[in-house]
Amino acid sequence: MSLDEAKTKPHDRLRAYLEADLEAVNGLIRARMASEHAPRIPEVTAHLVEAGGKRIRPMMTLAAARMCGYKGDAHQKLAATVEFIHTATLLHDDVVDESGQRRGRPTANLLWDNKSSVLVGDYLFARAFQLMVETGSLNVLDILSNAAATIAEGEVLQLTAAQNLATTEATYMQVIRGKTAALFEAATEVGGVISAVPDAQIEALAAYGDALGMSFQIVDDLLDWGGASGDMGKNVGDDFRERKLTLPVIRAVARADEAEHAFWTRTIERGRQEEGDLDQAMELLRRHGTLEETRDEALRYAGLARRAMARMPDHPLRDILADLADYVVARVN
């Protein structure tokens, strides 16, 4: 690794390596987003698809295919597929969460309305489906249809688990697998499948995608509590206010004494939150050490991801992806 490489963030190195592919994917996304009959569709999606998306999921597909020596253009179609599926779930999440902002821009449902978010999301799902059919690989279709079911199942599970103090760690893991890891896993796996590499390599790619996605989502949930040190920044506490049970809280609830349990019941289950409750919640997480434990869990998954990459043949992209796994957790203070 050169000094330059050491200083550059892994996702920037990934982007630089895949630049030509990414440009083709962006062209494909623009072309397939268009609708002859319904011009509102690109209006709604443009601000989601064009703006500021890190394209991390499509980069997984592109990187996996390139690492496996793929020659062709199906990897670009699948990368666009994966971004469309991701964008569609964001649109449907907008309806669900009544969230006001996403990526710093107004959400589609404020720019337009819930109707547009649901139906344009459906349109992107259908476009994703068309794109993957074009690759002509039943194996790819099988992987992506299973991922779609896991994603939808996870979203419904999250809904039923919300505000329920009895939510277990196993349920949480299933939720974040659907919410994030399933698409990361499928995105990476299909890059290997179209390259027709040996099964052991396809399994390593899938294992990498899953572990990276799990780590990514655990870190995201931890950052909502200000990271492992519980820094009370201005974006801290959204999940608490929305009464979402993530790993730090699930573990703290499991170890709560009677008074602590009453606190969680009032704030999360009954939703009767008062001034100072967020500080009190943070204090309970610190007391039981669940923020540090959550970081350890993210590190464990990052280690799994790194070790999965070690099962791949030598390649510059292999090293970048391995570094990316570490970098995801390094975001946490």
Q: Which residue lies nearer to a second copy by CB, 120 or 299?
A: 120
Q: Which residue lies nearer to a second copy by CB, 125 or 263?
A: 125
How far apart (Å, rounded) are the C-alpha atoms in residues 80 and 67? 18
Q: Which residue lies nearer to a second copy by CB, 6 or 170?
A: 170
How far apart are CB 84 and a second copy at their closest, in Å?
A: 11
How far apart are CB 91 and a second copy at their closest, in Å?
A: 10
Q: Which residue lies nearer to a second copy by CB, 118 or 223?
A: 118
Q: Which residue lies nearer to a second copy by CB, 92 or 288?
A: 92
**Using CB under 8 A as the criterion, which residues of the chain lie in contact with a second copy when the complex forms?**
35, 37-41, 92, 95-96, 114-116, 118-120, 122-123, 125-127, 129-130, 133, 136, 138, 141-142, 145-146, 148-149, 151-157, 159-160, 171, 174
* Three-state DSSP string of the chain: CCHHHHHCCHHHHHHHHCHHHHHHHHHHHHHHHCCCCCCHHHHHHHHHHCCCCCCHHHHHHHHHHHHCCCCCCHHHHHHHHHHHHHHHHHHHHHHHHCCCEECCEECHHHHCCHHHHHHHHHHHHHHHHHHHHHCCCHHHHHHHHHHHHHHHHHHHHHHHHCCCCCCCHHHHHHHHHHHHHHHHHHHHHHHHHHCCCCHHHHHHHHHHHHHHHHHHHHHHHHHCCCCCCCCCCCCCCHHHHCCCCCHHHHHHHHCCCHHHHHHHHHHHHCCCCCCCHHHHHHHHHHHCCHHHHHHHHHHHHHHHHHHHHHCCCCCHHHHHHHHHHHHHHHCCC
How far apart are CB 171 and a second copy at their closest, in Å?
A: 8
Q: Which residue lies nearer to a second copy by CB, 62 or 157?
A: 157
How far apart are CB 239 and a second copy at their closest, in Å?
A: 17
Q: Which residue lies nearer to a second copy by CB, 27 or 136?
A: 136
How far apart are CB 73 and a second copy at their closest, in Å?
A: 18
How far apart are CB 29 and a second copy at their closest, in Å?
A: 15
How far apart are CB 123 and a second copy at their closest, in Å?
A: 4
